Amino acid sequence: MENFFDIRLSFLFDPLAVFFLFVISLVSLPSAIYSIGYLAGKYSPRKIAYAWLLLTAFIISMAFVVSVNNALVFLIAWEIMSLVSYFLVVFDSREEKSIQAGVIYLVMTHVGTAFIMAGFLIMHKYANSFDFISLKQASIIMPSGVKNIIFLFLLIGFGTKAGIVPFHIWLPYAHPRAPSHISSIMSGVMIKTGIYGIIRFVIFILGVDSMWWGNLILVLSGVSCLVGVIYALMEHDIKKLLAYSSIENIGIILLGVGSSMVFLKLNMPGLAVFSLIAGLYHLINHAIFKGLLFLCAGSVYSATGIRDIEKLGGLIKKMPLTAFSFLIGAMAISALPPLNGFVSEWLTLQAFFIASLTGYTAGLKIFFSLCAAILALTGGLTAACFVKAFGMVFLAMPRGKSSELACEVSLSMKIGMLFLVFFTIALGLGAGVVFKLLEVVAKSAAGVDVGSVKFSLNGFMFLSGQVNSISLSTPLVALILGAVIIGIYLGCGGSKIRKYNTWDCGYYKLEPRNEYTGTGFSKPFRIAFNFFLIPYTRTEKLRKSFYYIKSFKYETFTTPVFKKYMYYPLIGMIFTTAKFMRRLQSGSIHMYISYIFITILMLIIFMNRF
């Protein structure tokens, strides 16, 4: 009883925790630097001080989450993290939208926490302690049915925070509302704590108990990939777009984690470690380039005050450095070699390949190759999505006054972005080293020790028992590309160049209005995926007479499937019950007294049931 209340603040700095701490600091530092320039001018000094307070609290709480050694303390840190991030979401507290976003976010995450709590307490029932070690020991004596329940609870809980479909709806609300440096931390790191939870509590403590765990995670994450990227394609609020693509990337990360769970169950430790490495690698990569992209979006927003990409454009001339950073981020996220995103997706695909090569049953093999296909499709769609994003925001002519008058952001913001740009490239080229480091993390997390993952350092050469060798060397790729490009320039640069208008079919003048819009860009996808997006259009004609239509308005929408068919009905049900219950308090005292009478009567009648 007493031991309930001395919450021993003990830490666990195993490689996993250290890795996550590193990720946190890696994204938080540049965001903090960035925020100097971002907040200045926009807010009053008091508000800025408040923002810094919240930022520090946020970082500290996240650090606690990933490093404590006690489930109860973990819960507390977890809730505090959610609370602080809520305050950050409603930072612009004047706007109804932020308030609504905050409510949605906090309610979702609270429900998730309830599930986590239940899971922990069921574990506690067997362990009689909240220490990770004793929980780990207790996991042996748990019956497998209970383990399944716990797994489901933890998956729902942490999945809500990580934003896997169908628990993702809070993400596109919350991330855009927060100040940009915070959105970068939220999307870059905070949602990763959900992944940390899954790795720590499911793989490390609970131990993978049955096959379907991994498979379920794989399916969910595959769905998250596709749903995330498709919604991102449809979106034209730049920060919302990034939020949706976070959902997709979480999916990719979990593809790695899930397959490693499957391998653990099949007891192929080498593969398990390999795919966990893939997952972790994509985790850190996503942290970096998503942070970068959010910072860039923030700079665009603070330069123009617009987040709608349909109204932006031509910024590459106004703010070249931001454009360059965004380009790097976009290339990385669409997995273009030799940047980091490519490496991690390559690893994940390799994991799937080897899985479909050496998986036990044919069904499993086919399943894994399907996962590979989904990943490939996601990659292609992401590329399209970010071509759209970059093209609409930075290229061609400005689509409005505010983007014409835009100018490059302040120094601190530049530093913040460049820092992350550097790491985006570094983690691409230094893949070999990173892989080596992550191997340690993955081994300790999976709790297995294998010699079967070897690699030599030119790029890296992955050899394992079952497969012949394959090789990939990002430095070499970069080298060759660079060499060829430079060669081309030296060989045949400097031809005569004449500047002239864009060709406009002889139309007398070319305006921004002629440009292709983001909506137009994504139209093929909207039609191709109409089975899921269920697009519908609304047209209205302003006509002078029956024959003369003055103007014609055409809007197109897509149906938010999960909200419409999953959440609205649920909420509606709750509200109808509440409204029905309202009659209980009818205001008539006679009724009230009769309640008492009826209650006592019922109790006496059913007395012997109690």
Stretch 372-391 residues interacting with other proteins (CB under 8 A): 372-374, 376-377, 379-381, 383-384, 387-388, 390-391
Instruction: Please report, as residue ranges, which positions from 102 to 121 form the binding site for other proteins (by CB under 8 A).
Output: 102-103, 106-107, 110-111, 114, 117-118, 121
Return the number of the residue (183 or 356) whose C-beta is nearest other proteins.
356
Binding test (CB under 8 A) with other proteins, winner from 59, 75, 174, 446: 75
Least separation in angstroms between CB 33 and other proteins: 27
Least separation in angstroms between CB 63 and other proteins: 16
Binding test (CB under 8 A) with other proteins, winner from 202, 522, 533, 558: 522
Which residue in this structure is represented by tokens 């693509």? 245
Strand pairing of 549-558 and 470-472?
unpaired
Question: Could you say whether residue 90 binds other proteins (CB under 8 A)?
Answer: yes
Using CA atoms, how far apart are residues 530 and 453, in angstroms rounded to an integer? 43
Instruction: Please report, as residue ranges, which positions from 396 to 415 form the binding site for other proteins (by CB under 8 A).
Output: 396-397
Least separation in angstroms between CB 547 and other proteins: 28
Using CA atoms, how far apart are residues 188 and 14, in angstroms rounded to an integer? 22
Instruction: Please report, as residue ranges, which positions from 314 to 333 form the binding site for other proteins (by CB under 8 A).
Output: 314, 316-317, 327, 331
294, 242 contact by CB (below 8 A): yes
**Beta bridge partner(s), residue 552:** 541
Positive or negative: CA dihedral 499, 502, 505, 511:
negative
Question: Could you say whether residue 578 binds other proteins (CB under 8 A)?
Answer: yes
105, 86 contact by CB (below 8 A): yes
Question: Could you say whether residue 490 binds other proteins (CB under 8 A)?
Answer: no
Which token pair is 387? 């071509």
Least separation in angstroms between CB 171 and other proteins: 18
Question: Could you say whether residue 588 binds other proteins (CB under 8 A)?
Answer: yes
**Beta bridge partner(s), residue 11:** 68
Question: Could you say whether residue 480 binds other proteins (CB under 8 A)?
Answer: yes
Least separation in angstroms between CB 301 and other proteins: 21
Using CA atoms, how far apart are residues 388 and 510, in angstroms rounded to an integer? 21
Q: Which stretch binds other proteins (CB under 8 A): 404-412, 421-429, 553-561, 570-578?
A: 570-578
CA–CA–CA angle 153, 249, 418 (5° rounding): 130
Using CA atoms, how far apart are residues 374 and 535, in angstroms rounded to an integer? 23
Q: Which stretch binds other proteins (CB under 8 A): 158-166, 336-344, 428-436, 553-561?
A: 336-344
Longest dimension (CA), the chain: 102
Using CA atoms, how far apart are residues 255 and 502, in angstroms rounded to an integer? 45
Neighbours of 308 (CB within 10 A): 15
Three-class secondary structure of residue 542 per DSSP: strand
Binding test (CB under 8 A) with other proteins, winner from 449, 499, 546, 548: 499
Binding test (CB under 8 A) with other proteins, winner from 76, 133, 211, 440: 76
Size of the site for other proteins (CB under 8 A): 139
DSSP, residue by residue, 191-214: HHHHHHHIIIIIIIII---SHHHH
Question: Could you say whether residue 467 binds other proteins (CB under 8 A)?
Answer: yes
Least separation in angstroms between CB 546 and other proteins: 31
Question: Could you say whether residue 349 binds other proteins (CB under 8 A)?
Answer: yes
Least separation in angstroms between CB 554 and other proteins: 17
Least separation in angstroms between CB 330 and other proteins: 8
Using CA atoms, how far apart are residues 502 and 396, in angstroms rounded to an integer? 10
Q: Which stretch binds other proteins (CB under 8 A): 18-26, 217-225, 429-437, 502-510?
A: 502-510
- Start-to-end CA span in the chain (Å): 29
332, 285 contact by CB (below 8 A): yes
Q: What does DSSP assign to residue 454?
A: B
Per-residue binder mask for other proteins (CB under 8 A), 34-73, x = binder: --------------------------------------x-
171, 232 contact by CB (below 8 A): no
Return the number of the residue (286 or 443) whose C-beta is nearest other proteins.
286
Which token pair is 40? 């200045």
Instruction: Please report, as residue ranges, which positions from 443 to 462 form the binding site for other proteins (by CB under 8 A).
Output: 458-459, 461
Q: What does DSSP assign to residue 585?
A: S
Return the number of the residue (208 or 381) whose C-beta is nearest other proteins.
381
Instruction: Please report, as residue ranges, which positions from 145 to 184 form the binding site for other proteins (by CB under 8 A).
Output: none
Least separation in angstroms between CB 234 and other proteins: 13
Return the number of the residue (272 or 392) whose C-beta is nearest other proteins.
392
Question: Could you say whether residue 599 binds other proteins (CB under 8 A)?
Answer: yes
The values of phi and psi at residue 70, to 5°, are -150, 125
Question: Could you say whether residue 134 binds other proteins (CB under 8 A)?
Answer: no
Return the number of the residue (528 or 566) whose C-beta is nearest other proteins.
528
Return the number of the residue (19 or 64) whose C-beta is nearest other proteins.
64
Least separation in angstroms between CB 376 and other proteins: 4
Instruction: Please report, as residue ranges, which positions from 527 to 566 form the binding site for other proteins (by CB under 8 A).
Output: 527-528
Contacts of 251 (CB under 8 A, 6+ apart): 164, 165, 220, 221, 222, 223, 224, 225, 226, 228, 378
Which token pair is 67? 């490093």
Contacts of 520 (CB under 8 A, 6+ apart): none
Binding test (CB under 8 A) with other proteins, winner from 53, 411, 433, 470: 470
Question: Could you say whether residue 585 binds other proteins (CB under 8 A)?
Answer: yes
Which token pair is 456? 């030599």
**Beta bridge partner(s), residue 551:** 542
Which token pair is 588? 């008539």
Three-class secondary structure of residue 534 per DSSP: coil
Return the number of the residue (129 or 444) whose C-beta is nearest other proteins.
129
Instruction: Please report, as residue ranges, which positions from 256 to 315 form the binding site for other proteins (by CB under 8 A).
Output: 314
Question: Could you say whether residue 594 binds other proteins (CB under 8 A)?
Answer: yes
Least separation in angstroms between CB 18 and other proteins: 25
DSSP H stretches of helix in 163-189: 170-177, 180-185
Return the number of the residue (34 or 64) whose C-beta is nearest other proteins.
64
Task: Give how far Cα 186 sits from Cα of 100, 177, 189, Å.
Answer: 18, 11, 6
